[in-house]
């Protein structure tokens, strides 16, 4: 598995990875992996977009957003799905582990397009109570297109997290970098082994 610079073999108790943030560019598969991690470890799952977006795609003020995020992360265990760089002082204050989903550009773009198409076709409410739904116009033909966002931010996001990996300011954080679905599955299997090992001790 491609990890940098941390391996799960170093974990001595689940408390060492009790607060996890899954990051990566839009379309990378953060949400899917975050939910799987939360299920394996039986941790609460927190979706950053759900915390952020208000009904009718209205955006909150930073003050409102930060307060909601503080409340969402008040527990001792959680898996947080999302970037929002300006929230780092909050979300990484007590973080144990950051999982970076760093798939290839072609794979990420394919996943972003597939997800946008499914959401636009099904018209499912994305976050309960908001009424927010994707449409083909919004997803593919508007200035807010998530596809365009993925294309234009992929390289920037990659560079940002590469710099964070070696930034002394974040040296206390354990980082895992997943470059493929194979890496992700191996990581999940390692988590299952950890969960089994430490649950068996109780």
Write the pLDDT tens digit of every residue in 64-120: 999 999 999 999 999 999 999 999 999 999 999 999 999 999 999 999 898 888 887
Q: How high is the pLDDT of residue 25?
A: 92
Give tens-digit pLDDT for 189-202: 999 988 877 776 65
Q: How high is the pLDDT of residue 6?
A: 66
Give tens-digit pLDDT for 145-154: 888 889 999 9
SS3 101: strand
Packing angle of the helix pair 105-122, 146-165 (nearest 10 deg): 140
Asked if residue 38 lies in contact with residue 98, where contact means CB atoms within 8 angstroms, the answer is no
Nearest to 149 by CA among 118, 121, 180, 112: 112
Give tens-digit pLDDT for 152-184: 999 999 999 999 999 999 988 999 999 999 999
């Amino acid at each position: 598995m491609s990890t940098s610079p941390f391996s799960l073999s170093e974990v001595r108790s689940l408390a060492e990875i009790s607060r996890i943030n899954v990051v990566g560019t839009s379309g990378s598969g953060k949400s899917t992996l975050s939910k799987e991690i939360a299920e394996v470890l039986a941790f609460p799952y927190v979706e950053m977009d759900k915390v952020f977006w208000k009904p009718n795609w209205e955006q909150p003020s930073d003050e409102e957003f930060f307060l909601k995020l503080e409340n969402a992360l008040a527990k001792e265990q959680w898996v947080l799905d999302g970037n929002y760089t300006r929230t780092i002082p909050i979300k990484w204050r007590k973080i144990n582990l950051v999982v970076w989903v760093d798939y290839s550009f072609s794979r990420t773009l394919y996943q972003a397009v597939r997800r946008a198409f499914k959401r636009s076709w099904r018209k499912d409410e994305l976050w309960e109570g908001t009424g927010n739904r994707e449409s083909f116009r919004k997803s593919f033909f508007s200035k807010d297109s998530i596809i365009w966002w993925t294309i234009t931010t992929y390289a920037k996001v990659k560079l940002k997290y590469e710099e964070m990996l070696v930034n002394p300011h974040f040296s206390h954080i354990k980082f895992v970098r997943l470059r493929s679905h194979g890496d992700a599955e191996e990581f999940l299997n390692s988590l299952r082994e950890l969960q089994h090992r430490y649950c068996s001790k109780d």
